[in-house]
Structure 1
Amino acid sequence: MAAVFFGILGPVCVRLDGRQSIELSGKQSVVLASLLLNVNTTVSRDRLIAALWENAPHSAVSNLQTYVAQLRKALPPGTRLLTRGSGYLLQAGADEVDLLIFDQEVRLARLEAERGEAGAAAERFERALALWRGQPAEGTPLGGDLLARVAEVEERRTETLLDYAEVKLVLGAHKEIIDDLRRLLADQPLRERAWYLLMLAHARAGQRDKALGTYRRARDVLVEELGVEPSKDLQDLQSMILGDGLPPVAPEPRARGICQLPPDIADFVGRQGELAAALEALGPARQRATTSEPAGAESAWIPPTLTVPLCVISGQGGVGKTALAVHIAHHARHDFPDGQLYINLRGGENRPTDPEEALGRFLRALEVDSATVPTGLDQRAELYRAKLANGRYLVVLDDAADEGQLYPLLPGTPGCAVLITSRHRLTGLPAARLIDLPMMPSGEALELLRHLIGADRAAEPSGDADTLVQLCGGLPLAVRIAGAKLAARPHWGLDQLVTRLSDTRSRLRQLSHGSQAVRASLAVGYQGLTPPARRLFRLLGLLEAQDFAAWTAAALLDMPHAEAEDLIEQLVDVRLLDVAGHDPSGQARFRFHDLTRAYARECAETEESENERIAALRRALTAWLALTRQAHVRLCGGHYRLPYGRSPLWSPDPEIVERHVRDPLAWVEAERAGIVTAVGQSAALGADELCWELASSAMHLFETRSFYDEWRATHETALLCTRTSGNLRGQATVLNGLAGLYLARDDMQRCGEVLEEALALFEKAEDRHGHALVLVNLAELHRLQGRYAQALEMYEQATEGVARAGDHGTEIAIMRGVGHIHFNQGRYDLAGPYLRRAVRLADDTGDVRSREFARIILGEIELARGDSAAAAAGFSQAMAYFDTLGFPRGTAYATLGLASARLAQHDLDDAERLLQRALAIYDNVGESLGRARVLFAWAELRRLQSRFDEAVATLTEVIAICQAIPAPRRHGLALRALGDVYREAGDLPAAVDAWQRSLTLLEATSSAEARQVAALIKQHLV
């Protein structure tokens, strides 16, 4: 694999093995620049959109997804451009991005300088600065807060230049840095540290007058531009120079300052990407701040300068935010020698720590006498910032409630840095590096468990350690509690705890040990919610669906969608819900962590009455039914073929319905698992009407996408539910749906059995429309098995019931079926009118699926009549439509037709390509009769290629499939084709034998080909 290197310190570039080899479009370059400026940190979708457009278009989300997909394709294999929630993350090693190399070199150079190794430090500074090829992302138009990020990176370069100058002064290279400092001050005349170093360089070079002149110029600029006198450092240096004195060449080592950090965790595991990202974010604060902030210069409520590095670690309760923050802070202690301040702001509790109280504690830690700590928030914030000015402090603000709580606690000078944890994302902080802390990967969680209970115990051959970690859901707090529990009970096997945790109703009770409890951690976030948001959290816990859209919240609470969406966002903000992704319409989908869901359900069972729980759940389930019905209508062109029950519906707002089901197959793609669980929950409630209606409404959606497992699961659940309740019409409808599934899966025997039962139940329920629907399915079964007379009779019997119900969708199916039978019997003049009427009616009703199926049969008629060009045109149109729709079986059917047309045109190469595609689709959906039809055409291809042995083997497989189904007409056609192959191969006895067996089957099915086979036998026996 080629070595990849990313450059952001100048024009964006990507090099492979040292060569610049990848060219990116403008938008791709913006996306890559944004990710590189935040490498190893998730960049939210909103920040990327702001970087791409000043005024984002309506299609911004889908456009961004396109640019990311194009970028992934352009970058070399192995590049770790990952999707994280609603954002993106570029993971890179420390040697793969020039910005990471720069920060690492600068970090090490400063450490060497502090140890007095000035020569080594100078070399490192020089290497770091040599990485810069221009401004960060030069030539790439960035918008949003990424401009501030660019400014922050440039600030780091400037401070590095000054550190380098300071080291060179220590080495005695006074004259070398004078020009560099002059150029810097020409661009940044307010930088007092540069004035200080330039004065010192002149003085050490023996240029006393120039040093004092530099002071005068510095004072003029500061007074004119800012209205302030030079800092005390500059004034002291001027006094020394006037008195022929100078500060020492090498700075005296600083004494270590205060440290309020909790102890680091000895068994800390994983989180290396987040650790690196946080250290990189805090890195700019390593430089020594030289400008002091005048007391009172900044209101406590105004965010401080953007140059103070801020890093926010957010995530749900128990995910390990505090542990990671403390670990990071201990790693970075040497970068902040003046001190590390820490406070728990208790943002998840009902009464978060007041900022004024927090400032009082900080001031006392900073050795301000308690008697002199001022009262009032503004006065304390002013003194606090003044105490931190010119120092290098790390401030750790744990469990923050919101930005308002934080602003008074942020330092005002760039020598300091702030590390924040919160359940909220806190996107309002200026230029903050945001790190979303996900659940711990299973490998890291298993490693943590090994640390807690010992490697030998975790390696038990039963594999219970893996199961235990899985039951903890990647939540570090849960893993720690499980490990502590096992460590306290050395006589327990891991299987004992696994058994206890496997019961979802008692899992939270088991995940408690000593003062630690997952339930208590979740309760903190829950209690901090508003009452409506708490109720939504409880009710969402009633749903079995693994993920869901915001409309479910509206249904559960019986409120408008916009209000419910605001409440669901509150749950996301405090990490009681996760964003699971987006459906094809761009709408967010949400999910619970398993342990959070268990807690929500506990809350619902204790705080909601049984009637309230049932009513809320019914609203959500009937909303699923309302939307599924609408998706069916969009797909099938109307309400046709959809029996209705008596379930009252809770339907979302019309615009929400339109937004979700405008593309019905995208809807079922997103909701198929939700529909299955909704059917199951309806059954559990004893809501038999709702249960069978929901299963029935989803049937054609499942059929189109070949979601056979979901089709089977919903119908088997609904059948048991309706049988238990004695619901005759529901049983019959579900049985008829199961018959369609068995038909699609080539299980003809079971199909016939359930259709006979469904027919009797509809007769008993006196439902003429349902009775007619079963007759149509019976007719289709007879047709496929070659019993054409019975099929035509069934179609005829069904016609009146279908017409009386106004069911045009089933009327189309009848016309198509009758036309297909006439075609199979060679009566093309009779078949055509039926099929053309089906096409017209399908056009009128908007049932485009049925229209294209009818057109395919018309194409088969054209092909049989010898007009392969007209047939190919019809097949191509149907194939394109089914491809666009995403209907695998339809695509395969049309592709097979086009392949047959190409065979007739002797375009064997294209025919083989098309047959390969059709066979792959049928094999993927598991349709054996479709496979047999493709193999039949494949055998014809091999015959035309004179590859007779292969043709015989292929037809032998076709015959076996048709015997198993059974499909007698297709079986007979395969035997006839087998005889043709034997004849051409010179084996006439085998040919006649195959034809005779074929004739028996074709005569039994009244197939048109029977006469042709009889003539062949007569010709070759004479």
Structure 2
Amino acid sequence: MTDDGLASLLRQHRRRLGLTQEALAERAGVSARSIRDIERGGRVPRRHTVGLLAAALELADEHRTTFVAATEAIARRRTAPLNPLRASTGPATAGPVPRQLPMDVSDFVGRDEVLREILRALRPDEPSPRLVVISGPAGIGKSALAVQTAHRLASSYPDGQLYVSLHGTTGQPLDPSDALAHLLRSLGRPDGAIPGDAGARAALMRELVVDRRLLLVLDDAAGHEQVAPLLPAGSSAVLVTGRPPLTGLPGSTAVDLMPMGDAAALELFTRIAGRSRVEADPGSVAEVVRACGGLPLAVRIAAARFAAHPQWTARLLADRLGDERRRLAELRHGDLAVRTSLQLGYQALSAPAARSMALLGSLPVATFPEWAAAALLDVPAATGAGMLRELLDARLLDEVGVDPAGQLRYRFHDLTRLFARECQDAHDADGESRAAVIMRAATIWLGIARQVREALQGQRLYLDDPRIAAALGDDRVVHAARQRPVDWFEAERETLGSLVLACADAGGHGIAGALTGTMADFCELRGHYTDWHRMSSAVLAACRRSGDGPGEIAMLRSLGFAQLELDDLDGALEQLRAARTLARQLGAYPSAAMAAKEIGYVLGLVGRLDEAEGMLRAAEEELDRIGRQDTRALALTNLSFVLRQRGELDESVEIARVAQALGEAQRSRFVQAYAGRGLAGALLAAGRGDEAAGAAQRAAELYREIGDPIGEGQSLRALGEAFARDPARQVEAERLLRNAADLFREHPYPWGLALTELSLGELLARSDAPEAADVLRSSLRFWAAEAVPALQARALVALAGAEERRGRDARGLWEQALGHYSTIGSPAAAALADRLSRAGRVGLDD
């Protein structure tokens, strides 16, 4: 057929069917511009010939005779340059045209980007090989996507579409030789003409299809060995689906399907269940979709059940799926069941891999590191890694990636995790319940966490419970974790917190308390105060239920400190005083001394300076007596702060130096940093700015070394305040203060941010910067809400000065500041009253 003849046929049949040039272009797999050029009488490019002819065949089946002739002509044009010997002997005998694709899914939604990627890879004008492998876990929609894609490509492959289910997940995968026999029959070969040898079958298959443009769909492949013999030669395209990724197939485009997004899952549910019922209660439907975890099979089942029960409400379905113990049982409709699809993969596992899945799935964690499998099963690391690889190949486990500590992490899909828990429940008869597995896992993480905490350079709170034994952990895992202790705790923070709550709920208050105590130093270091508070509250309640007095003391202190960092000063005092009282009753004197140190610190913050000094001096003596010198140094630093507030500046400096010396003697970088920051504050108050700057600089460096951004920010603030005293270093001071504020925003610490805003506002006010008043008001609001009179007064004084510089009346601000200073007995009260009196604004007796 000539180019003009083919162009004429295309134009005639397109117009008969009412198609646009763009629609024809899409069917033929060419550009709309090419269609316009051809219909205007242009030359038909050789690479487009077959696609255009295929489109003509699909559009005008009633003109079969005409187009059969055209097919033979085009086949001769196509094969001549590829195989000149064949051209001399005439065309191959045409076989049947198989159309084996399963019915298309009418409610297919989502996957638009992936679908476009596959269509591009399988276009007829793409160079060979045209091979796409779609992989993913059970129920993710691999087959639906493959069938949808195949139907869209059917017109581009006019010599037929073949479909074979390879039964890869059934436990009895189809033998490649049997699959080849099926394909050969589909291509017109009778049984008597099919060789018995698998290699000969594969060779014959390649010979039959080399001159054909076929689309082959191989669904549910088990692995490379099953697929490789089935791959055709020539211009055909192949679409493979399977749970394993099969990335080893040469020239393949790999597509690994992820769970659907919320919007696509909701649209799928709506198409099946009906829009009116969805719109009647969209909130409950959203809960249903979330319970399905983005798994198309689960969404389809839930929607089908909803559609089959017109009397059900969306709220009823959401509640049924909300119960994790029943969720898999609820996700069943007719012959569709999520549990069944998971069971197929589970049954194919080796016994050790199946056991590892049950154990790991029992853990109440979102992700877990690679070493967890070996640790739970008490096997070598390589054996544990092999079990995980088997789970990955079965697509019962997902690889998350490398965490901040350099550990490879894994996770189960929510529904797979529920199935794994069911598997563990079946193992209860072997003597280990799920609760026991969780406790055992907690001891494993505790053992590693204790050793990693030692590398944090500075135990602060002494809240761990030494009565609780822990596993030692793999030496290589521990060594790697200790090299990056902050990163390790960050990577395991969510896991450790989940284990704490699960153990507390299951009656394991001891292990839960030990884990909380081990994590407390890290939480305080990195500002994870909400996590700390949640764990402490849960374990405190568990200790009280079990009558564990020592555990209760530790958790009262833990909760008190967490509330302090969360700016609940009254709540902190209540918990810490209860801890000291109980510790004295039980003779736990170290705990009583540390609680006293913490009580004194809080009293100093709220301006109750006399009480604070008495409590801190008592704590310092008790800590010295029991030999806890590092904690004694912290108590002395807090005492220095209280004395500074009272105007006793020389003693404040002297005590801060004693604290710093204790830190150096203990070789504790944290204590040195903490005491150094306190010394900087004392020196600054004493007017010794250069010395203060040196102490603050050193403290900031130490905090940075141990990975404490909160301490670093506090030290940078002190350094900025020191530089602010020097007129030549105002710009540098402002930069330091803004850097400190950024740290407190990045690692949320409202107290430090408000204190830094106070220092920054004072600096800006001195230079009449327009933003000074706004910055100071922000700080003042915080101190007023926290009821910290000393800092309220300081903020009011700075704000009053800023307002006066702008010509505004600041009388009320000065008076409020005087009131706060008088309440705490600060020496600043007399000086401020004298100033106001001389200004004629308020008398000393008012």
TM range (shorter): 0.7 to 0.9
Q: Does 1:940 align with 2:771?
A: no
Match for residue 320 of structure 1 among 129, 135, 141: 141
Task: Find the aligned partners of 2:130 and 2:389 in 1 and give their Cα distance.
Answer: 28
What is the CA deviation profile of residues 955-998 of structure 1, one whole-angstrom value per residue up to 9, with x for unaligned ones? 67766654553334334545665776788779797698567535
- Confirm or deny that 1:779 pairs with 2:701: no
Question: Retained in 2: the 8 A contact 1:108–1:124?
Answer: no
Match of 2:111 among 267, 271, 284: 271
Q: Distance in 2 between matches of 1:582 and 1:261?
A: 41
| Counterpart residue identity of residue 260, structure 1 | Q
Name the residue aligned to 2:386.
566
1: CA distance between counterparts of 2:87 and 2:30? 28
Aligned Cα root-mean-square deviation (Å): 3.8
Specify the code of the residue in structure 1 equivalent to 2:88: Q
Q: 1:890–1:261: structure 2 CA closer, same or farther, 3 Å change rule?
A: same
Bigger mean CA offset, 833-842 vs 694-703: 833-842
Work out the CA distance in 1 between the residues paired with 2:781 and 2:159: 84
- 1:421 and 2:237 aligned: no
Which residue of the partner structure matches residue 538 of structure 2? 717
Aligned partner of 1:108: which letter?
V
C-alpha separation between the residues in 1 aligned to 2:551 and 2:817?
Answer: 47
Closer, same or farther: CA 597–873 of 1 in aligned 2, 3 Å: same
Aligned residue number for residue 107 of structure 1? 29
Seen in structure 2, the aligned counterparts of structure 1 residues 806 and 539 have a Cα distance that, compared at 3 Å, is farther
1:361: which partner in 2? Answer: 182
Letter of the aligned partner of 1:720 in structure 2? A
CA contact (8 A) 1:579 1:589 kept: yes
Give the drift of 1:378: 2.2
Matched, 1:233 2:92: no
Contact 1:625 1:693 in 2 (8 A): yes
Alignment of 1:549-698 (within 5 A): 549-609=369-429, 611-613=431-433, 614-637=435-458, 641-698=462-519
Q: Structure 1 pair 869/119, CA: closer, same or farther in 2 (3 Å)?
A: farther
Instruction: Output the amino acid matched with 2:187.
Output: L
Decide which of 441, 460, 478 is 2:280's aligned counterpart: 460
SS at match of 1:108: coil
For residue 122 of structure 2, give the secondary structure of its aligned residue in structure 1: helix
Q: Secondary structure at the match of 2:134?
A: strand
* CA offsets 1:326-385 (integer angstroms, 9 cap, x no match): 111222222322222221111112221111221222222222221332223223222222
Q: How does 1:902-941 map to 2 (within 5 A)?
A: 902-906=723-727, 907-919=729-741, 922=744, 929-941=751-763
Cα offset, 1:278, TM superposition: 1.5
| CA distance in 1: counterparts of 2:238 and 2:603, whole angstroms | 76
- Give 2:325's aligned residue: 505
Residues in 2 aligned to 1:914 and 1:112: alpha-carbon distance in whole angstroms: 64
Give the secondary-structure state (helix, strand or coil) at the position aligned to 1:311.
strand
Whole-angstrom CA distance in 2 between matches of 1:231 and 1:931: 81
Q: CA deviation at 1:546?
A: 1.5
Determine the structure 2 residue equivalent to 1:471: 291
> For residues 804 and 393 of structure 1, do their structure 2 counterparts lie closer, same or farther at Cα, with a shift above 3 Å needed?
farther
- The letter for the 1-side match of 2:439 is R
- Structure 2: state its 5+ residue gaps: 1-24, 49-69
- TM-score, normalised to structure 1's length? 0.70
- 1:976–1:998 contact (8 Å) kept in structure 2: no
Q: CA deviation at 1:600?
A: 1.0
In the aligned structure 1, how far is the partner of 2:740 from the partner of 2:111?
47
- The C-alpha deviation readout for 1:875-898, integer Å capped at 9, x for no partner, is 455446656766443243223223
Q: Report if aligned partners of 1:632, 1:639 keep a CA contact under 8 Å in 2.
A: no
Contact 1:256–1:337, Cα closer than 8 Å, also in 2: no
CA deviation vs aligned residue, 1:926-971 (integer Å, no higher than 9, x gap): 65544553344345335423579965x8767766654553334334
**Match runs of 1:849-998 below 5 Å:** 849-876=670-697, 878-879=699-700, 882=703, 887-906=708-727, 907-919=729-741, 922=744, 929-945=751-767, 961-962=782-783, 964-974=785-795, 993=815, 997=819
Q: For 1:259, what is the secondary structure of its paired residue?
A: coil
Shift of 1:533: 0.9
**2:667 corresponds to 1:745:** no
1:675-732 CA distances to partner (integer Å, 9 max, x unpaired)?
2211111112211110111112111212222222211110111011101111101111
- Please tell me whether the aligned partners of residues 527 and 749 of structure 2 are also in contact (alpha carbons under 8 angstroms): no
Give distance in 1, aligned partners of 2:524 and 2:108.
50
Report the residue type matching 1:775 in the other structure.
Answer: A
8 Å Cα contact 2:458/2:671 also seen in 1: no
Q: In structure 1, what is the equivalent of residue 55 of structure 2? A: none
Secondary structure of the structure 2 residue equivalent to 1:459? helix
- Tell me which of 169, 186, 202 is aligned to 1:348: 169
Q: Distance in 2 between matches of 1:315 and 1:266?
A: 22
The Cα of 1:634 is off from its aligned counterpart by 2.1
Q: What amino acid sits opposite 2:679 in the alignment?
A: L
> Who is 1:30 aligned against?
none
Q: What does residue 385 of structure 1 align with?
A: 206
TM-score by length of structure 2 reads: 0.84
Aligned-residue offset at 1:551: 2.7
Q: Tell me by how many angstroms 1:918 deviates.
A: 4.2
Question: What letter is aligned with 1:850?
Answer: V
Letter in 2 for 1:463: G
CA apart distance, 1:541: 1.8
Of the structure 1 ranges 353-362 and 926-935, higher mean CA displacement relative to structure 2 is found in 926-935
Corresponding residue SS for 1:612: coil
1:811 aligns with 2:658: no
Letter aligned with residue 353 of structure 1: L
| Residue 18 (structure 2) aligns with | none
Report the Cα distance in structure 1 between the residues aligned to 2:318 and 2:816, rounded to whole angstroms: 62
Aligned mates of 1:276, 1:883 — CA distance in 2: 49
Q: CA deviation at 1:386?
A: 2.5
- Cα distance change, pair 346–800 in 1 and its aligned pair in 2 (3 A): farther
How far apart are residue 738 of structure 1 and its match?
Answer: 1.0
Give CA deviations for 1:119-161 in whole Å, capped at 9, x if unaligned: 55646969xxxxxxxxxxxxxxxxxxxxxxxxxxxxxxxxxxx
- Between the aligned partners of 1:960 and 1:398, the Cα distance in structure 2 is 65
TM-aligned CA deviation for residue 909 of structure 1: 4.9
Deviations 1:501-556 (A, max 9, x none): 11111111111111111111111111111111111111122111122222332332
Write the deviation string for residues 148-204 of structure 1: whole angstroms up to 9, x where unpaired: xxxxxxxxxxxxxxxxxxx9xx99xxxxxxxxxxxxxxxxxxxx9999449xxxxxx
Q: In structure 2, do the counterparts of structure 1 residues 757 and 256 end up closer, same or farther at CA, with 3 Å as the change threshold?
A: same
Contact 1:640–1:808, Cα closer than 8 Å, also in 2 = no
Write the letter of the residue equivalent to 1:341. Answer: L
Distance 1:407 1:631 in 2: 48
Identity of aligned residues (%): 33
Structure 1 pair 802–429 and aligned structure 2 pair: CA distance change class (3 A) = farther
Relative to 1, partners in 2 of residues 1:765 and 1:1010: Cα closer, same or farther, differing over 3 Å? same
1:834-880 deviation line (CA, Å, top 9, x unaligned): 43454455456564343323222332344334443453454455446
| Corresponding position of 2:314 | 494
Provide the residue aligned with 1:1000 in structure 2: 822
Secondary structure at the counterpart of residue 817 of structure 1: helix
Shift of 1:915: 4.3
Give the equivalent residue in structure 2 for 1:397.
218
> What secondary structure, in the 3-state scheme, does the structure 2 residue paired with 1:463 have?
helix
Q: Is the 8 A contact 1:975 1:997 kept in 2?
A: no
**In structure 2, C-alpha distance between the alignment counterparts of 1:729 and 1:377, rounded to whole Å:** 73
Distance 1:886 1:470 in 2: 37
Contact 1:394 1:416 in 2 (8 A): yes
Amino acid at match of 1:372: A
Alpha-carbon distance between aligned partners in 2 of 1:371 and 1:808, rounded to the nearest angstrom: 93
1:503 aligned partner, one-letter code: D
Do the aligned residues in 2 keep the contact of 1:281 with 1:310 (CA within 8 Å)?
yes
5+ long unaligned stretches in structure 1: 1-102, 127-166, 172-191, 199-229, 238-246, 288-306
